[in-house]
Structure 1
Amino acid sequence: MLTSYDQFSAQVFEAAGIEVLLVGDSVGSTVLGHASTTATTHQDMLTFTGAVARSVRRPLVVADLAFGTYETGPVDALRHGVELVRAGAEVVKLEGGAEIAPQVRALVDAGIPVFGHLGFTPQSVNSLSGHRVQGRDDAGAEKLLADALALEEAGASAIVLELVPAAVAARVTEKVGVPTIGIGAGPDCDGQVLVWQDMAGLSGFHGRFVKAFADLRGQLEQAAQQYRTEVRERSYPGAEHSFE
C-alpha cells in the first residue's frame, strides 16, 4: 500500500504491482504545503481521489475522510463518505477507536467499506502533543487493542496502525480477524503503507520507520540543473527538437 494523489504516481504504482493506493489526507502536507493534515479539506479529498481513481483499474483505491467530516456523528460521516465514493473511492478511512464505531457502522451498513486508523492519528496531532509513538505503556497498549476490536466489531475491513511499538502491533494483528497495515509499527502487520514521496526519497524525510528506495529528490535536482545548463549554453533545444 502506498499513498497516491495524482495520475502519474498512480499509474506507476499500478504498473509496479502495488495492490492498494491510499489517497491520504497527507496530501495537505505532501502536496499542498500545509503544516499538518488538519488543513486538508473535504474538497481537496474529492479532487485528488478523483484524479487517482480515474487513472487506474486494478489497485484498490482508499480515501481518507478529512478532519471535521465525521467527528460530529454518523450522519456527517455517511454524507461525506458517499461523496468520496462518488468521486471514485472504493474504501474510506477514518481515524479513531471505539468512539467512532457508530460512524464506521453507519458507513458499512450503507455499503461503504471502511478502514480504521489507530496509534498515532495525524488529525489529532495537537491533542497527542506531536508525533509520538502510541501504546508504549500497558494502559495505552490495552486501549489500542480494545479500539481495534471495537473497529472490527463495527465492520471495519482493515486497520492501519501508525507509530505503534512492534510488539503491540503484533499482538493486535494476532487478536483481530481483519488485516492490519503498519506504518512505523514493525514487521508483523499484514501489510505496510508509506507516503510515496518518503518511500521514493523525494520528500527528504528520514523518520526511523521510513526507508527510501530511491533518491528522486537528488535525481530531479540533477535533471533540473542539467536542463538549466543546456538552456543557458543554448545546446537545448537543438535541431532535433525543432520544427522546419
Structure 2
Amino acid sequence: MEESTADLIRAQLRRLRSAAGLNQEEFGKLVHYSASMVSAVETGTRPYDRPLLARADEVLASGGLLVSLLRIAEREGQPSWFLPWLDAERLARQLRVFQPTLIPALLQTEGYARAVIRCDDLLSDEEVERRVAARLDRQAILAQPDPPQLIAVVDEAVLHRRDERFRALMVHQVEHLIACAERPNVSIHVIPLSVGLHIGLSGPFSLARGADGGWVAIMENQLTASPTDGEADLATLSARWETVRNEALSRQQSVELLKEVVKSWP
C-alpha cells in the first residue's frame, strides 16, 4: 500500500477519535486495545488491520469511513489480507525472511519477479505487470536514507533452477543477490543442500520488528498469507527462525556459494 494511503487512514483515525472527545486510553478500551497500542497505530510504528478499523468505525460512528479507505487501498492493487504486512514491512527496523522455494520478494530482480508471477496463467498481461511494479515498489525501503536491516535465509535448491530458458535470468538474479549482500543493511544466508531435511521446508515466513520493538509475522501458502502478532505464533516462528538461521552458512560463506553458482552455469 502506498504511504500516502496509510497516512490518510491514520490521520482520519486520529481526527475521528479527537472529534469524539476520546483520549487514546478511552478509545483503546472501546476497541480492546491498550493506550500505547492506539498511540503506536496512530503514529505509524505499528500496523493497523481490518478488524481494528471496523471496530473504530462502529465506536466513532464514522459511517464506515475507515473501512472504505481500506477498500480504496485494496483497489490500488493489494488484497486486504496483505495490507497489514505491507504496512509492517514499510515501518520495520529489522526484517527476517525465510524462503525455501523462491528468491525473497525484496531481493528479486524485475525479470525474476515477472517470471514467477507469470507462473499463474490465470493472470492477464496487464495484471502481471501491475504486480511486478508493486513488488519492485516494495523494494524501495532497502534504499531509503534509514533502511531496515534485512536478514534473508534461502535454501540452496532455490538457486539451482536450471531450465535453459531461464539461464540468463537466473545468472542475473544470483548476481543481484551478491550485489545486495554487499549492502551494510542486508545479510543473505544460504542453507546448503548438504543439510537435507529441516523445519523450514514446511513453508516460508517473515518477521518484522517495528520501531517500538514489537514483532509482526506473516506465513504464506498457495492462496493467501496470514499476518499475525499473536504471542504464541510469534514464539513459534521466532524459534523456527533460529533453527533455519543456524542451519545456514555464514554471510561470507553464503556469498562465496552464490559466486560458485554463477560460475557453474555453462
TM-score relative to the length of structure 1: 0.26
Query: Relative CO higher for 1 or 2, CA cutoff 8 Å, sep ≥ 6?
Result: 2
**Structure (1/2) with the larger helix percentage:** 2
TM-score relative to the length of structure 2: 0.25
